[in-house]
Structures are given as C-alpha cells and as structure tokens.
Structure 1
Amino acid sequence: MTRYASYLTPAGAPTWGAEKDGTLFDLGPSGLGVAPTLRDAIVSDALSSTPSTANAPAQAVDGTRFLPVVGEAAKVICIGVNYKTHQAETGRADAGHPTVFTRFTDTLWPHGADVRIPPESAMYDYEGELALVIGRPAHRVPRAAAWDHVAGYAAFNDFSARDWQRHTGQWTPGKNFPESGTFGPYYVTAADLGDVDELVLETRVNGEVRQHAGVADLIFDIPAIIEYVSTFTPLAPGDVIVTGTPGGVGLFREPPEFLAPGDIVEVEITGLGVLRNRLVA
C-alpha cells in the first residue's frame, strides 16, 4: 500500500509525495514533477499506477511539516449524524435522507499542527471521520455506479464549536472556525485501501479512546451519500466528502467534556495513519 502526503520541503516549499517506511519521496514540483499538487495528481489520474520514487528527493517523516492532504478542494461536503451510535447519543429520530452541511476550504488544517480553540466558543469538540476524495466528475450518479467516482480516502477531524452549532438549526457557523478541519496525514487510493467496510475508526483524547467504530456502521453508506449529494450539486475530481462521526463525542459524555488547551486529539483509521493535533488557546 502506497500512502501519499502533502507537506513542506526542508526549504519550506509546498510539495507532495509518497511515504514509505517513514520516508517521504518528493513527487511534486520540487521533486520528480509528477503533478503540482496531490489534488492535481488525483484530477489527472496520475495515481492510477503507482509513480516511481526512484531518484526522488527524500526526507524523513519525523520533523516534516505537513499540509492538509488535499487542501485545494473546490467543495467540502460533510455528512452529519451518520452512525447509529452517534444518532443514539443525540436522540435524533431516523432520517430518510443524509444530513448535509458544508465546510469552507480555508478551514482545512494539517496533521501535526496546533489547533487554536476559538475564544468565542466554550464548547469545542472533536469528531473523527473518514473522508473520501472524488476522482471522476459526478452528477446524478446512481448508487450502483458510485464506487467508480471515489479516488481515495484520508482521515478527518471535524472540530466543532457546539455552542455556535446550536445557535440555530443551521450548523455552518459551528463547523467553520479557522483551523477546524484537520485532514491527513495520508491519502490512500481506493484501489490500494480495498473494502472500506473493513476499516476501523478510533478517536483518542490524551490517549483515552473516545470513539471506536467500524466504517461498516455508517447509516448512509458511501454509495448512498454520493447518489444523494451528486443529485443536488455536481462534484468534481478533488472534491471531498466527509462521511460522519461515531458516538462518543465530548458533547454527549456524562458530564460533557470539551477540549482544553494542551489536549492532544488523535484520529486513527486502518491504513490511513494517525491524524494528530494539539489544542492551544
């Protein structure tokens, strides 16, 4: 399995490359020039066969400053209340259609970077999620054809200002504070990752497991999500859909436990690595 990352070179230039055994091999503009960005590589289908890393500039993963793994998406669509365990803790009734909200691209933030808790929020929370990246134009895609439009996957943390999320019935303000959508560290193609129903998602806060679920537990599975979302908005290669979070968020713990400066949140998904961020004031 080849894992891809977006990151900065030692000289501070943005690039992307393949990770192997703790080393990053530069396939971007400062390296082999396969494509300017990882998103461009997805759009051009440059990852349909694994690019060679021979003669690529290399650097250790340790000490590397990462970038949001696919940070230039035109659309980031998020699905809410999409695991039975999360639905149960919220007390929401069954829904006939996915709950959808949007996230602005400028909220995306990298693995390893500190996340600032907004001073306007006293209820800052985590949501570990699986994100998928669209690989082919998708408009009114039937369920049976949905998998053909998935390019690959990465881990996502949908940090949420719950107080702002609850101001009205619209969730957009609580889901779009700066630095609130951490994304990465690695992207894996759908062909390499295999059956997503076999993936396990786990979120930890300061080492304590808060969320643990199989992706097979999604209420609306990935084909259903793509069919629904692509009906109301055309999706382009490089667009991102964040598929929902399991039960165990801080808001519904007894008593509620929100994030504080110094907390370290990790989201780990089978094959996709560990997305880690520290919270700061």
Structure 2
Amino acid sequence: MPGTVDPFSIATFERDGQSIPVVVAGGRAHDLRTVLPDLIRTTDLFSQWDANLDEIARYLADHPVGDDAGIDPSALRPLPPVQPVGAVIAAGANYREHVLQLSVAHKLGRSDATDEELRVEAAQEIDERARVGHPYVWAGLSSAVSGARDDIHLPEVGENVDWELELGVVISRPGFGISLEEAGDYIAGYTICNDLSIRSLIPRRDVAMMGTDWFRSKNAPGFYPTGPYLTPARFIDDVSELRIQLWVNGEIKQDATVDDLLFDVPQLISYVSAHVPLEAGDMLITGSPAGNGSHFGRFLQAGDIVEATITGLGTQRNAVIGRTGQLPPWYAQGNRTAP
C-alpha cells in the first residue's frame, strides 16, 4: 500500500433514500464515488480489490481528515456494507466453549449423565471433531440481512429468539477448491453479523429423520444484522485476537476472542470451497461464542436493546420490536398449528 495511512473501512449508508458507498476514516465518511468515479456500489471494489484499496489510501493521504471533511456517519443509516448483499454461508457449533454450554443446556448426551459428565464427554467429542472432522455449515438468505442499527422484529411464528454474534468474513474474488495456504488471498475483510435464531423452530419433530430446520429458524426478515463496516483484511494483524462482545439492555452476554474457534477462517474457506464455488461479496459467518440466550434461559423480548461490537469493526445497536399478532396465511387460514 503506498505511503502510510491509518486504517479505514468500507461501508454503505442511506441518505435521502439513496444508497451511498463510502470509505470511513478518522470518524468521517467519504463518498467512494468521489475517490473512484466508475464505482456505483461497494461490490464494484472486488473487481480489483487490492488496487482499489491502494487508490483509496492515496486519496486519504492527499485529503487529511478534518471536522469539515466528509460526512458524519452517525447522522446516516448504515446498510449492510456489501451492496448488493451476497450469499450468507454460516458455520455452526464452531466455538469450543459455546458447544460445551449447549451440550449441557440441551442435555445432549447420556440421559443419566450429570452436567459435569456431559461437559467432559462433549469436550472429548469436540476435540476429536476438530482433529479429524469437518465444519458444520449451512446457507442463509441475503433477504434476511439487515443493517447495524435496524430494528429486530420478533417473528409471528416461533418462540425463543436468540442472539449469536459472529465474525463475518467477506470474500474478495471467486474461488473453488481453495487450499489452506491460498485461503487468505480470498479474504477481502471482516465485518460483524448477529446470526439470530428462532430456537423453537430448529427441531423438526414432524419429520424427525430430517433433523434441524435452519431455513425457517434463521431467515426471518432482519435476522442477520450486518456491519456497519467492512474492515479490509490488511488492517487486521491477527484475527484470533479480535474480541467479540454483545450486551442485552446493558448486560454483557457474550465476551470472547476468536481464538476459541474449532475451525479457523482458512479452514472454513477451504472446506466450504471444496463443496461450492465462492463468489466475491459472499459473507462467511464463522460461528458464535459462548453466552447465547439458550445458556442463560433468557431470550429476546420486545423493548430489549441489543448492542454488539468486534474489535476494529464498529458497533451495532438494534431495538427489539414485538409481534403484530398477524399470523401468515399459511397458519391463519389453514388447520395447521403454528410450531
């Protein structure tokens, strides 16, 4: 990167009903269309990701940030930083302590085992899986992705809406069959994603042989609050040291570092790309650390305020809005009981 420049982030803000791609530096936002005249949306950066970052760095070096420079980001509504939103590829059960907590909370193991025995046995299974097993991954819908300050609307169907703050990895270029050694070359940067879950809709007791139902439990409108920023990978020295924190009504619930991952970022990229092609702008969310509502027996309620941050990636603040009481027609007009 030419010269010396302080770290900056990429974002998308809404102003007067329009989507604006920006670079955020020194607490101010600059319209990226001024820096790169051919750019329309943030996904346009991926065609020449490193070269475009170098051009942004040159612009910032030539335009020192001052109080009268750029735009105040706090006055604008943050949209998901990558526009248009790409695929969401989600890794589950990928933080060691999180899996241990869930194993105890949901009594996953011998029916006659104590909590301590469940924890010990789960730890043995986890460590073996990390050594010779595979990540657990599913796909989310881009239509469920929302902004860092958007409201969280409790769904009309389902109970026990849970928080799951995660590190998001944004892919910089297409790739298939990526090796561990090459994985870092496919990382554009990092962002924040809260992978919300409707816990009561995860199991499918009516078709038990099918197991879990991530489609209906993970993809309600706004269930992936993302951003506010995409921080380029070149500004993150050690991903494992990033601190993940989430509060509900000012009470800390999640507080961990990324070094508790069972499968790290290069492993996830290599595994996912062994099965599906990755595209520029896809977001791989890497799993949630311990401290979910399932552990506390406390889930999101109308009026809650969820705040979240990851080192160097900005802050989210989402208000929880209650149900309207209007069931979807599938349930309201049929003989089917809402699960």
- TM-score w.r.t. length of structure 2: 0.77
Gaps of 5+ in 1: none
Match of 2:19 in 1: 14
The runs of 5 or more residues in structure 2 that have no matched partner are 1-6, 104-121, 205-210, 323-339
Output the CA distance in 1 between the equivalents of 2:19 and 2:151.
Answer: 19
Answer yes or no: is 1:258 the counterpart of 2:299.
yes
Q: Secondary structure at the match of 1:101?
A: strand
> What is the rounded CA distance, in whole Å, between the counterparts of 2:151 and 2:35 in structure 1?
27
Question: Partner of 1:48 in structure 2?
Answer: 53
- Tell me the equivalent position of 1:271: 312
Q: What is aligned with 1:163?
A: 200
Check the 8 A contact 2:171/2:280 in 1, yes or no. Answer: yes
Are the structure 2 counterparts of residues 24 and 116 from structure 1 closer, same or farther at C-alpha, using a change threshold of 3 Å? same
Moved more, 40-49 or 258-267: 40-49
The aligned residue for residue 92 of structure 2 is 80
Q: Deviation per CA, 1:33-76: give whole Å up to 9, x if none.
A: 35211122134315431512549983211221111111424321
Out of 40, 43, 64, the residue aligned to residue 36 of structure 1 is 40
Aligned with residue 135 of structure 2, among 95, 98, 106: 98
**Which whole-Å CA distance do the structure 2 matches of 1:246 and 1:34 have between them?**
40
RMSD: 2.0
Partner of 2:116: none
Structure 1 position 206, deviation (Å): 1.1
Distance, in Å, in 2 between the alignment partners of 1:278 and 1:199 is 25
Q: 1:71 to 1:127 in 2, by over 3 A?
A: farther
Alignment of 1:33-182 (within 5 A): 33=37, 35-45=39-49, 46-51=51-56, 52=59, 54=63, 58-91=70-103, 93-94=125-126, 95=129, 96-167=133-204, 168-182=211-225
- The separation in 2 between residues aligned to 1:240 and 1:25, in whole angstroms, is 24
- Asked if 1:5 is matched to 2:11, the reply is yes
The total of aligned residue pairs comes to 277
- For 1:211, the equivalent position in structure 2 comes to 254
**Range moving further from structure 2, 144-153 or 168-177:** 168-177
Q: TM-score, normalised by structure 1?
A: 0.92
Distance 2:295 2:288 in 1: 13
Shift of 1:178: 0.8
Identical amino acids, percent of aligned pairs:
33
* Distance across 1 between alignment mates of 2:42 and 2:287: 24
Q: If each structure's strand is expressed as a fraction of its own residues, which one has the higher value?
A: 1
Give the superposition deviation at 1:251.
1.3
Larger radius of gyration: 2
